[in-house]
Homo-oligomer: A and B are copies of this chain.
């Protein structure tokens, strides 16, 4: 697959690069959810990935390939979510500094997690402009390297390793279903899967309250997300210059789900499968349980990516 952020060879290289630091996450099954979906479902449990989400794969792949003299100056990002923790641990494994610009509104739990992994938290005002300005200042001062949360070929290749693991153990898969926010996860997965097994279909599932990917896909042009409103707080971002072409060309369809459907899917995963997913991580199951997805009769063996499990136990939706 050429002309995109990464090809299958890049993704195999990423898998080898991150193998010493990351988990090959387990695949779980649940008879009750098979019955409810009318499919045979394989849950790819990225909640059990290091730092509790798939984000570690991309961050680790980016950090580990920096040249030694560049790496020594550290890495920088702005994020209030799972990418922040992922980058902090990847930097720790490399033995370098991670500077994470976080809004003052970020949960103290998340800031503490970054610090526990050895990252340095730099607070800023809770606006995108402030985040970018402060991050630029840190970059200027440290001469470090920016590692973006999703719109980056190294990050996308890292996330694609999920598809390699799935196809290795489940060659019979008909489809892979992934949450979609900025598109780093679904892009990596689609780039790996469509080159390794062209007949396989990749679906992105998006909250109705942050449906830029669905609107972009249906109009054929990149429409940025404005004023997102959903419980799936990991999926608020817009597609980017590297992820959009992959979503446009290689993702079969984007399905949207309501917050009620997301909470219901999350509750099913907790109660029936004992899988402690966060709302953004349950979005893929919500899509699989939708009428639209159930209508795809030819799709029998379906991998469902549960992208993360970093839940705030103080504010559960049920």
Chain B residue contacts of A271, Cβ below 8 A:
311, 313
Chain B residue contacts of A48, Cβ below 8 A:
28, 274
- Cα distance, A270 to B278, chains bound together (Å): 12
Contact A52 B313 (CB under 8 A): no
- Cα distance, A91 to B26, chains bound together (Å): 29
The answer to whether residues A309 and B52 also contact, given A26-B26, A316-B316 and a CB cut-off of 8 A, is no
**Identical copies in the complex:** 2
Chain B residue contacts of A274, Cβ below 8 A:
47-48, 52, 275-276, 309
**16 new A-B contacts at CB < 8 Å, known A26-B26, A267-B313, A271-B311:** A28-B48, A47-B274, A48-B274, A52-B274, A270-B276, A270-B311, A270-B313, A271-B313, A274-B275, A274-B276, A274-B309, A275-B276, A276-B276, A313-B316, A313-B318, A316-B316
- Cα distance, A313 to B311, chains bound together (Å): 14
Interface residues of A, CB < 8 Å — how many?
A: 16
Name the residue among A26, A47, A48 with the largest chain B CB count within 10 angstroms: A48
Smallest CB separation, A89 vs chain B (Å)? 10
Residue of B nearest to A45 (CB): B274
Would you give 9 A-B contacts (Cβ < 8 Å), ordered by A?
Answer: A26-B26, A47-B274, A48-B274, A52-B274, A271-B311, A274-B275, A274-B309, A313-B316, A313-B318
- Cα distance, A270 to B276, chains bound together (Å): 7
Chain B residue contacts of A47, Cβ below 8 A:
274
Smallest CB separation, A315 vs chain B (Å)? 12
